Structure 1
């Protein structure tokens, strides 16, 4: 392995790319490189990180990185970082999209973080494949690129030659997964331990907040949605929702799903879990009382639904968000 050339990682440093991700990934890979070189007793770099010059987006050549270093024809990895304000409009960077497709055809792994997935999606390479992005942007991404199989619950989707990660601060998860892929799990774990960070996470359900659609225009369904937020609806059932709507049951079920993309029961579960997580964060109430407050007579039922929707138990969630809280 000592005779092998360095593995090249290209960071696409578009103008609005998050600086923390750009600099952080450089540091993360630098640590992995140093630790691997010591382990292998190798003087030459194991990983080489290059940052593409942002000026190259304005119709110029993509043949150089920052400074005068030439970009490799087929880098090992190309990463599209996240952005607080969003990536460039794909229509303004056609050369970048072409270059990404060329790299992929040449065998490069392509990876995108958060909003960077929108740029990667514009290449067409995600069509028919699973991907993720920030949970709040998942619906917009799905609408813009309906051929992609969006999974907003997953924090990291590794589909072999293409990786996507969800949150804007999930770039360490991507970096560690790539170190695992390029240098092996031992190198990844050693890098994580050195930097005091956890190995890659896979789930972002615990970060999601339920944001119901209230702009669908169906006033009857909207009336039910508003009622479900009131104290009198704490023990509401689907039958109660149907009666309030004044519609025949099948008609109500059809219209509710069309307006909200959820069944009435699933909608009710999301509302109750959302209220439950607020109580777990802000109070020290025991789980039995929280379950009752949100409309469940059986805390076991609440625990089961909470775990299914958020990917962790109420006790684990409370420990994570409020270490001093009562985790009963």
Structure 2
């Protein structure tokens, strides 16, 4: 029997992650029994206290067992912790030695969405790949520069450490773990029972690029604002450095340090974000949108768009544009 410990952290955490994981993993035994196979999972909610209030006391979770009573587990699941991540880690620091000990004894550890921040606080992610919510990528890199964050990934796996991307993509990681422990057939059955899109690997189509402005370099911030206001035009590094009265090499270094992107990457991402908005809301054809955001070479744009979003421009438009999906008859 595989023992699964779903953590119930203190503070504001994801009820959906906790309940959803518990529900699905508990159902696996029923699916196995229906197929004439032995139950496989023992799933428990594990906490630091006997009761944990959530959502301003609207909900209360009562863990089945406290960590001091779990001498050995096979899989630890860390749900998403919300709010200030440093405070969340401090509030739940008593979990950390227990998680480390269980990992050293052979347990696997999985984080869901923002749970990656707390997993990183244990030190187990150092030097390893990791996924989290795309919206928190910059903050994660700032707090844990020694972790290899994979912005676009839905799932990462390395040395018994598993992480998932943003929000409800935790379901994809749960399915992945079901397949790993109970087999592909049970994972497919679970995906069908819960209407989950199995084998989804990228969160790129959902990422919204928001230029990092949480820095104190005012000339760089003004350069960002200029790019965002003038993305249709041809903008050069020399033009921006001249406007900022900063030498080119120094400007490029400061821009990358402040935003996490090179100047060219930033310009490209702003153009692509503008194109995405057009694809979502307008009836323009693909080439019209490409020209409107300032690209002349359509092949270059299509290549860059696919690299950033994981979809071709046409696939993206067809996925998100309601007017295209449901055209109005004249």
1:12 matches 2:4: no
User: In 1, distance between residues paired with 2:51 and 2:126?
Assistant: 24
| Deviation for aligned residue 1:80 | 0.5
1:142 matches 2:136: no
User: In 2, distance between residues paired with 1:26 and 1:259?
Assistant: 41
Partner of 1:237: 236
Unaligned runs of 5+ in 1: 1-5, 59-63
Deviations 1:29-55 (A, max 9, x none): 13322112222x14x532121111451
Partner of 1:76: 74
> Scaled by the length of structure 2, what TM-score is found?
0.85
SS of the equivalent of 1:178 reads: helix
Partner of 1:29: 25
Unaligned runs of 5+ in 2: 53-61
Partner of 2:42: 48
Deviations 1:104-158 (A, max 9, x none): 1111110111221122111111111111211222222222222212222212111
* 93-102 or 214-223: bigger deviation: 214-223
User: In 2, distance between residues paired with 1:100 and 1:259?
Assistant: 34
Residues 283 and 325 of structure 1 are in contact (CA less than 8 Å); yes or no, is this contact kept in structure 2?
no
| Deviation for aligned residue 1:294 | 0.6
| Deviation for aligned residue 1:69 | 11
User: In 2, distance between residues paired with 1:266 and 1:141?
Assistant: 20
Count the aligned residue pairs: 315
Deviations 1:231-261 (A, max 9, x none): 5853333444344345443343333333323
1:1-328 alignment to 2 at 5 Å?
6-15=1-10, 16-39=12-35, 41-42=36-37, 45-55=39-49, 66=64, 72-85=70-83, 89-231=88-230, 234-325=233-324
User: In 2, distance between residues paired with 1:233 and 1:177?
Assistant: 42
Deviations 1:142-197 (A, max 9, x none): 22222212222212111141101121222211110110110122221121122221
User: In 2, distance between residues paired with 1:150 and 1:70?
Assistant: 32
* 201-210 or 282-291: bigger deviation: 201-210
